[in-house]
């Protein structure tokens, strides 16, 4: 719920600075390693935006894969969990490089 509140705060701050009146769609990028469940985000977003500038806005979610750089074999690999092993060499020396964040990518407004 707090993440959806943060998204709404970003929308409201943007509306003040950019002077738009209505949000038609919000595009979020959610990384596979971000611990954000897309269905839960949709539910919370719909509940929180009632009566706000984003009421009725479509929430578009782009799911981003996780990626990590392996210090052992030097490859960048797709990963599905934070603390897994390198699928190339089996090493645990992975540094996450993508897919561990959520961000508001775009607001479609009028």
What pLDDT sits at residue 35?
A: 94
Residue 51 belongs to domain with CATH number: 3.30.2320.50
Domain total in the chain: 1
Whether residue 38 is contained in a domain is answered as yes
Give residue for tokens 């390198």: 86
What pLDDT sits at residue 7?
A: 97
Q: For the chain, where are the E strands, in sequence order?
A: 23-31, 58-64, 66-70, 76-79, 94-98, 102-109
**Using one digit for the tens of pLDDT, what is the confidence trace for 59-86?**
999 999 999 999 999 999 999 998 889 9
Domain residues for the domain of 57 are: 2-65+98-109
Whether residue 22 is contained in a domain is answered as yes
Angle between helical axes of 38-49 and 2-18 (0-180°, round to 10): 50
Whether residue 51 is contained in a domain is answered as yes
Residue 20: how many CB atoms within 10 A of its CB? 16
What pLDDT sits at residue 103?
A: 96
What pLDDT sits at residue 60?
A: 98
Model-level pTM?
0.85
Whether residue 71 is contained in a domain is answered as no
Structure confidence at residue 99 as a pLDDT band (50, 70, 90): very high
**Using one digit for the tens of pLDDT, what is the confidence trace for 31-61?**
999 999 999 999 999 999 999 999 999 999 9
Whether residue 52 is contained in a domain is answered as yes
Whether residue 6 is contained in a domain is answered as yes
């Amino acid at each position: 719920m707090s993440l959806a509140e943060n998204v709404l705060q970003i929308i409201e701050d943007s509306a003040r600075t950019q002077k738009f009146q209505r949000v038609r769609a919000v595009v979020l990028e959610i990384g596979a390693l971000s611990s954000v469940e897309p269905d839960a985000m949709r539910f919370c977003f719909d509940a929180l935006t009632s009566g706000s500038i984003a009421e009725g806005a479509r929430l578009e979610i782009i799911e981003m894969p996780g990626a990590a750089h392996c210090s052992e074999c030097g490859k960048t690999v797709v990963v599905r969990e934070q603390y897994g092993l390198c699928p190339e060499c089996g090493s645990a020396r992975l540094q996450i490089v993508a897919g561990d964040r959520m961000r508001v990518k775009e607001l479609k407004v009028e």
